[in-house]
């Protein structure tokens, strides 16, 4: 579709650093895994499922961690609602060298406690708490059993656990993007000693509500659950279901989905910059970023009648055709954006004000980023070359000349520069896509009838999948199981903000109290993705 | 001007908390409403678009701290812990102050209703105007704010106006 050459932004922070110098010998490694864990249940080569038992769970997971599956994605309960009511606990891991996902499936037994994974991966703690609260799954050994949500019925000790331990709350959370999440900290000599994010005050239980809605009715709910990165969540969900039902999206639908994904990335990054300019108190840039942000929102509202909702995406493609006014406005604002980013670059590169404040603020080492299971711009700022658009390209991402921009120090300045570079790249990609917008159908005929009705199979074999993609703040994924009909068997949402919010306790250590709001906002945590 | 008759010293004395002065005050407030947003959910992205000339004729300037706000815009579902925070923010606001609930969430919990014990906002603080929609569009919110302005001019009560605060308003 796209043959035209790109005029890529002439922007590069430092040289690219490869992820690992050792090359991965896939056949040998996988053979060892097969020998250890037995044959996989599924046949999909990019996502392998293995069964395990209570006794060998920890052993298997440590073996996998040593053999390259370093990143813990999440754990979730997979169950079929219609038949057998078999309950399995799935632990999903990811390998950075060969980019393969692995799921370890543990069939649950009544009355037995599941081994605790906190020592292996620290981000597993919140997942375990959630599994306990949602499904009543109890884990072995004593861990910090703070209720994840619905703490209203509990005593005061549980209601405000951090406030009772002598933590003080960061009062003015404006501009830190934290919103309804509370940031608690203890300090000595104006430096942060311990910091923690308090979750559970505003848990909405999206996954539980999603299970009781129809497949097409899920899309507006998904939008409202991750409202700042709703487009990427909805596309991940649609792509997952399309994979299960073997549906191909027509070229026009693919291109428009991509445009919406990239414009969402732009608005997200603009919002990120807006927060820093608010905290730095640079009113000129603040107003300029605000006007650009609203320009993109306005362009979107010409199609969808809302500045941030009513997505045109649906299963099998898009709902309606694009309007011309939307197209011209989006072009207009992406042109403006390109000239604006060059000015911003010079602003951040100058050794003054903002540059000095952001430099060496809240630094994350490369090894820490791996341990904390980070992803997205926060990870790329540490110099780790990992972008899912590059690794698992879908639609036309193969044909666009995408360049992964990396930082070196992993501090707040690098995070800002990575955000800026990605902003510029997505603007160029939007240009390119709009120029070469393909013609033809925009929706698959396989599931949509002529009367606009969904044709879903009544019964198919039980299938599971994990669909992930690069959202604006990092990886966004959907676990889902489907066995026909208008309901899913289970659904679990994954976002990169959750490990980031958990990383706060380790990362903010030693940060001065004055720069605490700036440091937190530079991480780019979305509250909606954390509490769901 | 509506001044009181002269007293013994021969100087004019202004009525304390007179209706006339109250009317002037209300008209001045309505000319330039200063809203503060309490964000917990997705509606705030629609409210933010009121700051641009694309969506509304009159550009509204939102306040960065609640102490400077006249109107508290609450969006998002409320449970007990969030409700306590809304109460705190409301108590920190200076008089006069009004409350607008935006979206379905503060009224009924919205799409995520039956979970995590959602409660209506009016259980925590008094609500003057409620704008329905999931989310309401920017023009809907603008209409709602105009309705509030009419409400203010028509003599909506100053919320929680005690005896001490009455003195504050006196000239």
Residues of A in contact with B55 (CB under 8 A): 294, 298, 301, 307
Closest by CA position to A144, among listed A132, A152, A135, A156: A132
Residues of B in contact with A224 (CB under 8 A): 41-42, 110-112, 134
Distances A28 to A33, A46, A51 between C-alpha atoms, Å: 9, 16, 21
Residue B40 tokens, joined: 């917990």
- The Cα A119–Cα A498 span in angstroms is 18
> Does B117 sit within 8 Å of A152, measured CB to CB?
yes
CA–CA min distance B105, chain A (Å): 11
Report the alpha-carbon angle A478-A480-A481, nearest 5. 170
Residue A405 tokens, joined: 């921009």
Chain B contact for A299 (CB, 8 A cutoff):
no
Pairing state between β A474-482 and A490-495: antiparallel
**Average pLDDT, 10 consecutive residues per value, chain A (532 residues):** 39 40 56 81 80 89 87 86 74 86 87 86 84 80 58 57 71 67 83 82 77 87 86 93 88 90 92 89 86 86 82 86 80 85 82 83 88 90 87 86 85 90 88 84 82 81 88 92 87 91 88 87 87 78
Residue A26 tokens, joined: 């896939």
What DSSP string describes A226-269? STTSHHHHHHHHHHHHHHHHT----HHHHHHHHHHHHHHHHHHH
- The Cα A484–Cα A462 span in angstroms is 8
Beta carbons within 8 Å of A432's beta carbon, 6+ residues apart: A2, A4, A6, A400
Cis check: omega of the bond before B135, within 30 degrees of 0: yes
Which pLDDT band holds residue B155 (cuts at 50, 70, 90)?
confident
Residues of A in contact with B39 (CB under 8 A): 179-180
Map tokens 């780790």 to a residue: A384
Q: Least CB-CB distance to B115: which of A205, A298, A528?
A: A205
- The Cα A357–Cα A416 span in angstroms is 12
* Surface of B (21-60) touching A: CB under 8 A: 39-42, 45-46, 48-49, 51-52, 54-55
Q: Least CB-CB distance to B135: which of A151, A179, A309?
A: A309
Residue B164 tokens, joined: 């001490």
Residue B44 tokens, joined: 């705030």
Map tokens 């039902």 to a residue: A245
Cβ contact A234:A223 at 8 Å: yes
* Helical segments of A281-380, H only: 283-304, 324-349, 353-358, 366-371, 377-380
Number of residues that make up chain A: 532
- The Cα A415–Cα A380 span in angstroms is 8
> Does B116 sit within 8 Å of A149, measured CB to CB?
yes
Pairing state between β A490-495 and B35-39: unpaired
pTM of the model: 0.85
ipTM: 0.77
Closest by CA position to A477, among listed A201, A275, A236: A236
- The Cα A409–Cα A382 span in angstroms is 6
Cβ contact A440:A252 at 8 Å: yes
Beta carbons within 8 Å of B84's beta carbon, 6+ residues apart: B124
- The Cα B136–Cα B91 span in angstroms is 27
- The Cα A209–Cα A184 span in angstroms is 30
Chain B contact for A371 (CB, 8 A cutoff):
no
Query: Which residues is A187 bridged to in the sheet?
Result: A192
Report the alpha-carbon angle B78-B83-B84, nearest 5. 160
* Distance, CA of B4 to chain centre: 32
Provide the Cα torsion A109, A113, A117, A118; round to 10°: 150
The DSSP call for residue A443 is B
- The Cα A244–Cα A482 span in angstroms is 8
**Core vs surface per residue A492-527: b (16+ CB within 10 A) or e:** bbbbbbbbbbbbbbebbeebeeebbbbbbbbbbbbb
> Does B135 sit within 8 Å of A305, measured CB to CB?
no
* Distance, CA of A374 to chain centre: 10
Closest by CA position to A41, among listed A94, A98, A106, A96: A106
Residue B57 tokens, joined: 């004729």
Strands (E), A99-189: 101-107, 168-169, 182-188
Taking each helix axis as running N to C, give the angle between helix A516-523 and helix A412-435, from 0 to 180 degrees, rounded to the nearest 10.
40
What proportions of chain A, in percent to the nearest 5, are helix, strand and coil?
40, 15, 45
Looking at residue B158, what is its pLDDT?
Answer: 64
SS3 category, B162: coil
Q: Least CB-CB distance to A227: which of B42, B52, B64?
A: B42
Looking at residue B113, what is its pLDDT?
Answer: 64
Query: Which residues is A196 bridged to in the sheet?
Result: A184
Residues of B in contact with A531 (CB under 8 A): none
> Does B134 sit within 8 Å of A528, measured CB to CB?
no
Cβ contact B32:B68 at 8 Å: no
Looking at residue A18, what is its pLDDT?
Answer: 41
> Does B115 sit within 8 Å of A298, measured CB to CB?
no
Chain B contact for A306 (CB, 8 A cutoff):
yes
Cβ contact A508:A191 at 8 Å: no
Q: Least CB-CB distance to B115: which of A151, A209, A220?
A: A209
């Amino acid at each position: 579709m796209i043959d035209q050459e790109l005029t890529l932004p002439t922007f590069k922070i430092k040289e690219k650093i490869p992820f690992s110098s050792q090359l991965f010998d896939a056949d040998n490694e996988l053979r060892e895994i097969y020998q250890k864990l037995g044959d996989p249940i599924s046949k999909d080569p990019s996502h392998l499922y293995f069964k395990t038992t209570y006794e060998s769970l920890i052993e298997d997971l440590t073996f996998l961690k040593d053999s390259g599956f370093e990143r813990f994605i999440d754990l979730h309960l997979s169950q079929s609602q219609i038949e057998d009511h078999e309950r399995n606990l799935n632990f999903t891991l990811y390998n950075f060298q060969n980019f393969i996902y692995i799921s370890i499936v543990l069939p649950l037994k009544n009355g037995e406690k599941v081994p605790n994974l906190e020592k292996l991966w620290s981000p597993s703690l919140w997942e375990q708490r959630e599994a306990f609260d949602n499904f009543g799954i109890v884990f072995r050994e004593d861990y910090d059993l703070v209720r994840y949500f619905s703490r209203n019925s509990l005593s005061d000790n549980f209601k405000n656990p951090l406030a009772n331990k002598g933590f003080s709350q960061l009062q003015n959370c404006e501009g830190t993007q934290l919103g309804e999440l509370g940031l608690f900290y203890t300090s000595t000599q104006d430096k942060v000693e311990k910091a923690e994010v308090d979750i559970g005050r505003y848990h909405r239980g999206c996954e539980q509500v999603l299970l009781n809605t129809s497949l097409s009715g899920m899309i507006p709910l998904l939008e409202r659950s991750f409202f700042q990165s709703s487009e990427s969540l909805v596309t991940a969900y649609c792509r997952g279901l399309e994979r299960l039902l073997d549906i191909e999206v027509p070229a026009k639908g693919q291109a428009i989905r991509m445009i919406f994904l990239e414009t969402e990335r732009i608005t997200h990054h603009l919002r990120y910059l807006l927060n820093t300019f608010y905290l730095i108190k640079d009113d000129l840039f603040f107003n300029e970023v605000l006007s650009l942000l609203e320009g993109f929102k306005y362009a979107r509202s010409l199609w969808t009648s809302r500045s941030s909702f009513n997505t045109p995406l649906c299963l099998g493609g898009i709902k309606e055709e694009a309007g011309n006014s939307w197209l011209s406005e989006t072009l207009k604002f992406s042109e403006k954006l390109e000239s604006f980013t060059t000015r911003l670059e010079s602003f951040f590169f100058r050794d003054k004000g903002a540059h000095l404040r952001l430099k060496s603020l809240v630094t994350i080492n490369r090894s820490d980023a791996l341990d904390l299971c980070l992803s997205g711009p926060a990870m790329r700022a540490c110099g780790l070359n990992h972008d899912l658009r590059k690794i698992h390209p879908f639609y036309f991402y193969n044909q666009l000349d995408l360049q992964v921009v990396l930082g070196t120090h992993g501090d707040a300045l690098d995070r800002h520069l990575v955000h800026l570079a990605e902003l510029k790249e997505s603007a160029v990609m939007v240009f390119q896509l709009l120029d070469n917008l393909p013609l033809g159908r925009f929706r698959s005929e396989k599931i949509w009838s002529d009367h606009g009705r969904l044709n879903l199979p009544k019964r198919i074999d039980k299938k599971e999948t994990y669909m992930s993609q690069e959202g604006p703040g990092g990886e966004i994924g959907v676990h889902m199981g489907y066995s026909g009909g208008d309901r899913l068997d289970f659904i679990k949402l994954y976002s990169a903000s959750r490990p980031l919010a958990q990383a706060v306790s380790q990362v903010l250590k030693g940060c001065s109290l004055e720069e605490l709001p700036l440091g937190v906002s530079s991480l780019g945590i979305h509250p909606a993705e954390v509490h769901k | 001007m509506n001044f009181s008759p002269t007293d013994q010293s021969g100087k004019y004395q202004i009525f304390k908390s007179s209706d006339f002065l109250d009317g002037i005050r209300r008209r001045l407030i309505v000319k330039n409403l200063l809203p503060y947003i309490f964000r917990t959910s997705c509606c705030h992205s629609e409210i933010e678009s009121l700051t641009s000339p694309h969506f509304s004729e009159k550009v509204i300037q939102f306040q960065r701290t609640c102490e400077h706000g006249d109107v508290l815009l609450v969006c998002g579902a409320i449970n007990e812990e969030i409700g306590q925070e809304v109460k705190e923010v409301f108590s920190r606001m200076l008089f006069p102050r009004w409350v607008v609930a935006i979206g379905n969430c503060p009224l009924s919990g919205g799409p995520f209703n039956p979970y995590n014990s959602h409660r209506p906002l009016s259980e925590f603080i008094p609500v003057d105007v409620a704008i329905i929609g999931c989310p309401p569009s920017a023009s809907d919110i603008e209409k709602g704010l105009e309705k509030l302005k009419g409400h203010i001019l028509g003599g909506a009560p100053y919320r929680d106006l005690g005896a001490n605060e009455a003195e504050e308003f006196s000239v």
